[in-house]
Structures are given as structure tokens and as C-alpha cells.
Amino acid sequence: MPTFPVHDAKARLSELIALAERGDEVVIARGSVPAVRLVPVVAAGSWDKRWSKASSCLALTPTR
């Protein structure tokens, strides 16, 4: 997980976005303290597709 100071992150923002889109996590630090993590956003609808199989496996039946 690469870490960049804020100044470098501002200068290389397009590159860092491309890294995040590929699935890499990028950390932006203030000085030597990590401040934020840049990660890709899950595309709309893909969350539902991914979890639809899981939810069918976890179908709950009411208990009495």
C-alpha cells in the first residue's frame, strides 16, 4: 500500500486515481501520519450482484 505526502498526492492525483481504479489502496499522509486512504468505489449495482448469491445461501427461516 503506497503512501504519499499531501503535496506529492496533489501533484500526482491522476496517477493515484488510476492506481485506486486498478484496485490498489493508496494512503495520503500529513507529514508522516496517515490521514486518508484512496480506494475504488464499488460500481452501482455490482454490490447487489456480488451479494445476491450470498443472501440466497443465508436465507433465514423464522424460529418459533
Provide the CATH number for the domain around residue 38. Answer: 3.40.1620.10
33 occurs within a structural domain: yes
Tell me, yes or no, whether 32 lies in a domain.
yes
Domain interval for residue 32:
3-57
CA distance 47 to 56: 14
Stretch 35-47: mean pLDDT: 77
Q: Residue 27 in contact with residue 34, Cβ under 8 Å?
A: yes
**Is residue 38 one of the residues assigned to a domain?**
yes
Percent of residues, the chain, with pLDDT higher than 90: 48
Q: Is the pLDDT of residue 9 over 70?
A: yes
pLDDT grade for 52, boundaries at 50, 70 and 90: low
pTM (two decimals): 0.62
Q: What is the mean pLDDT of residues 48-62?
A: 55
For the chain, what is the domain count?
Answer: 1
Give the model's pLDDT for residue 7. 96
